[in-house]
Amino acid sequence: MSQRHPTQNEAIMMVTTNTLNREPIFKNDSHAREAIECLYRVQQQHSFFLYGFVIMPDHCHFLIHVLEPGKISNIIGAFKSGLTHDIGIGPIWQRRFFNRIVDDATEALNYIHMNPVRAGLCKVPEDYSWSSASVKWDVAELGMW
């Protein structure tokens, strides 16, 4: 799962990772919940601010800022391998993930939160349980770093 990501610690990044063959693994509520719990466990092991996320049926988006000496590839690798182990099925992930530095973190967070609305999974972002928009989950406020 090694790949080069030129962006590491300079800014807030939006990260996307897809399931293998876009299988809707996270339609299963217990798998979606475990994905979020795994993300928090990874955060305890690796230094990063988590500003927002959404666990869609076949992909995940995260808005994060990695702290030194952390590396985005280590964080996502730990998440993907940990979650695969935790839910006990696999392989479940495409090999690569995508990240980009965002110019406007508020706009990126809105994009992440609107994903389930655009997909027809809910009417408003707050109604989607597997998103930081639901306010059930603890995330950092933008501007905290």
Set out the domains of the chain in order of their start, with CATH numbers.
13-134 (3.30.70.1290)
Is cis: bond before 57, omega within 30 of 0? no
**Which amino acid appears at position 115 of this protein?**
N
Residues 6+ apart with CB under 8 A from 17: 59, 60, 76, 79, 80, 93, 94, 97, 98
* pLDDT, tens only, 50-79: 999 999 999 999 999 998 888 999 999 999
| pLDDT tens-digit map of 8-46 | 566 899 999 999 999 999 999 999 999 999 999 999 999
Residue carrying structure tokens 């702290």: 67
Give kind and range of the element (H or E) at residue 33: helix 29-45
On the CB side of 11, how many CA atoms lie within 13 Å of its CA?
12
Round to whole Å and give the CA distance between 140 and 49. Answer: 6
Q: What crossing angle do the helices spanning 72-87 and 29-45 adopt, rounded to 10°?
A: 140
Query: Which among 2, 39, 24 is positioned nearest to 89, based on CA atoms?
Result: 24
Tokens matching residue 88: 């006990």
The pTM for the full model equals: 0.91
Q: What one-character DSSP code corresponds to residue 120?
A: T
